[in-house]
A = this chain, B = another copy of it.
Amino acid sequence: MATATEANALGYNLDVDYVVRYSFGDVDQSQAIKELEKLLRTLASVGLQTEVRQGDETSLLVFVRATSKRLKRAVYRSRVRDWLYGILNSEPDSAGSIEPATEAERLRVVNQMITLPTEEGGAGITPKHGEWKNVTNVFPLHDEETNKEWMREWSKKTFLSNEELDQIRDKFGESVGFYFSFLQCYFRFLIFPAVFGFSCWFFLGGYSIVYTAVNCLWCIIFVEYWKRQEVDLSCRWQTKGVSAVQTTRREFKPEKEVRDEGTGEMRGIFPATKRMQRQLLQIPFAFLAAIALGVIIATCFAIEIFISELYNGPFKSYLIFIPTILVSALVPTISAVLMSIATKLNDYENHETNDGYDVALTQKMFVINFITSYLPIFLTAFVYVPFASRIVPYLDVFRLTVRPFVSKEHCDSKKSHFQIDPARLRNQVIYFTVTAQIVGFAMETIVPYLKQHAFRKYKEYNRKRHGKPAQNGDKDSPERSPIMTYDDPIEEKDFLKRVRNEVELSEYEVTDDLREMCIQFGYLALFSPVWPLVPVSFFINNWIELRSDFFKICMEFQRPTPLRADTIGPWLDTLGFLSWVGSITSAALVYLFSGNPQHGPNGDATDIRGWSLLLAIFFSEHLYLIVRYAVQTAMAKLEPPHARKERAERYLVRKRYLDSTINADPEKDLQQVKDDTLPETPEISRVALEDDARHSSMHDADPAERFWTRQHGWTESAEVGAGIIRAQPSSGSAKKQQ
């Protein structure tokens, strides 16, 4: 009998590649059985072994494993496709000797075997879509041992090494690998602004020009360095140009069929111009989002100002929570509505590949993210502080809403004198960069984990309370709850329990984590002059973030299907954009607040301040652009090491090919070209000259030929030339004639 330790060995997942969840709750039994047969037959036809177990009362779990021979063929086919599209440099070895290079490649190829359309060699199973809509999940199982081991190791170190990032890529694919590499790079880069920010905060306080300038420079260098690092990684992980092999989205509706010039196959296309027209709808959408969210946030902001600084009636300490509640209730609701509009717009745009779809969706979402994340601070910094003394008297309108609830004398007699709260901006920044990060961490990582555990305990409790083993034969109690135990083999019980837990988890999207990091970067670029300890907070947060994100992937999400990527996508442009906006806002903040903030917003001086404010912004932004251009130029000259290797490899592949064909070439080849350097040097004889003269006079010879035959060979030319030289007069030497 196998020992317990063997179960934890390589075969921990019992060699299962993928788990396919088939749900039969919505269809009647005969149709379910037919669909199940079809599913299993299709899987088997592409070379996948199957095992069926029960999932829960309305689903089956189909465990899938690829047979060795068919897997090799699928890997070969995938690599050939890569080579045809220029992602790999040398053509793959023949199909017989190929093995998947990494676990991620194996899982990716098996996923292709399951999901690619039949004409491309796959089973054509499209979860939740079309004829397979009862197939709800297709996911691989977590490698719990390695996950735990990595989490233990990483909690002891500060930095992950390149080898560990490679390990992440080997297990989870390049897309996740890029995210962790980005996070690690960002974390490493944060050391400098953390240290510098701390010293500036200590010695100079907030709003210092020195800190702002260094901060903007840091943002430029970080973004440009990451761009270079992306190229390096994509060469190292051999995914450069991988967007060329993206498969078509199954929701893509082509307008017409066209024969592709390259591959010679028919493929559906949708004209790019038509898509661009549809994309123009993004402009009204952006306005709608800006107005909707802006109005809500601004109104809640105004209410908050009123209550916290103007109002002095009863229940102040309770009413202060009204704007917070309003914001927390309204903003996510409106955001969700806007996100669904964005998704519908995105579907309308009919993108051809998943990448294209994701990029476009990210761009739309970013408008929403930008407003919800940064507008509150913008309002405080650029509306409240400069113009409060003008606007606040208008806020008295809110008194009218309060009046019915408060007695008249309370209201009138407590008209307080309005004073700007100078620490408001700083407190708000501290809130967003420290408190919100901690709350976000809790919401993202801890709460779902606790929820899962609570849910599982509840299900267990339910099962123990209601369920009796079916073997008792008690069929006549319709009120009794259905059977909750499963007919599992003994040795598979733990395994299947784990699998059933993993089935309940949701799918992981790396773009959500990237969004979070970009928004965080935005705070650093836009608002850190207010409170120079922002990078310190982010530094600590990101150390935890890397490990907590890994924990999240392992514990709270299904193991993601490995995806290939050569970039973090549209977030890179976002970083550049935030860096640019940061140059403007930083200059404005320093200008407005570097003096005494009380004296800033003064009605008379607004015009002059406005003029020099705009001038400061003008200079700051253009200085930013010049420095960014210089850094880009400098970075472009430093070729990343792996890119250089990849270029050299491309050269060597062709060189080897050339050498092999040259040796086979019976004609004079390059080697002979190098050897054969000495031409014949015929003697110049009178006979030859006379022959030539006779020859040329006898035929209608080409005047060109006559020109070229006057001097046979270079020696004769040399003599003629020497004669000409001697014939020329030169100072002090006797004149000789030819």
Contacts and interface: CB of A to CB of B under 8 A. Distances in A.
Contacts of A159: none
A614 B617 CA distance: 10
Given A80-B670, A492-B707, A702-B2, A724 B14 contact: no
A210 interface: no
Nearest to A37: B718
Contacts of A77: 670, 673
A62 B721 CA distance: 9
- Which of A52, A60, A713, A720 has the most CB atoms of chain B within a 10 A radius of its CB? A52
Contact of A28 (B86, B668, B730): B730
B717 A665 contact: no
A595 interface: no
Nearest to A273: B638
Contact of A708 (B7, B33, B65, B86): B65
A435 interface: no
A700 to B, nearest CB: 6
Contact of A14 (B47, B655, B658, B704): B704
A96 B121 CA distance: 43
A697 to B, nearest CB: 8
A162 interface: no
Given A651-B262, A703-B11, A730-B29, A678 B45 contact: yes
Contact of A667 (B91, B96, B707, B721): B96
B728 A58 contact: yes
A400 B238 CA distance: 75
Contacts of A667: 94-96
Contact of A673 (B95, B725, B735): B95
Copies of this chain? 2
A720 B608 CA distance: 83
A677 interface: yes
- Which of A1, A658, A720 has the most CB atoms of chain B within a 10 A radius of its CB? A720
A276 B721 contact: no
B651 A60 contact: no
B700 A2 contact: yes
B648 A714 contact: no
A216 interface: no
A28 B729 CA distance: 11
A717 B262 contact: no
A410 interface: no
A146 B655 CA distance: 40
B262 A60 contact: no
B610 A11 contact: no
Nearest to A674: B121
A683 interface: no
A624 to B, nearest CB: 13
A157 interface: no
Given A52-B711, A65-B708, A707-B492, A728 B57 contact: yes
B29 A470 contact: no
A594 to B, nearest CB: 20
Contacts of A668: 73, 95-96
Interface in A680-738: 681, 700-704, 706-708, 710-711, 713-715, 717-718, 720-722, 724-726, 728-730, 733, 735, 737-738
A650 interface: yes
B95 A276 contact: no
Contact of A60 (B7, B638, B721): B721
A77 to B, nearest CB: 7
B707 A33 contact: no
Contact of A661 (B37, B58, B91): B91
A22 B77 CA distance: 62
B51 A717 contact: yes
Interface string A51-75: 1101001101011010100000100
A2 B696 CA distance: 10
12 contacts: A24-B725, A29-B730, A40-B714, A44-B679, A52-B718, A63-B707, A80-B658, A91-B658, A91-B661, A262-B652, A275-B637, A482-B729
- Sorted from nearest, which 10 A-B pairs have the closest CB atoms? A262-B648, A611-B611, A11-B704, A44-B714, A614-B614, A15-B704, A40-B714, A262-B651, A52-B721, A261-B648
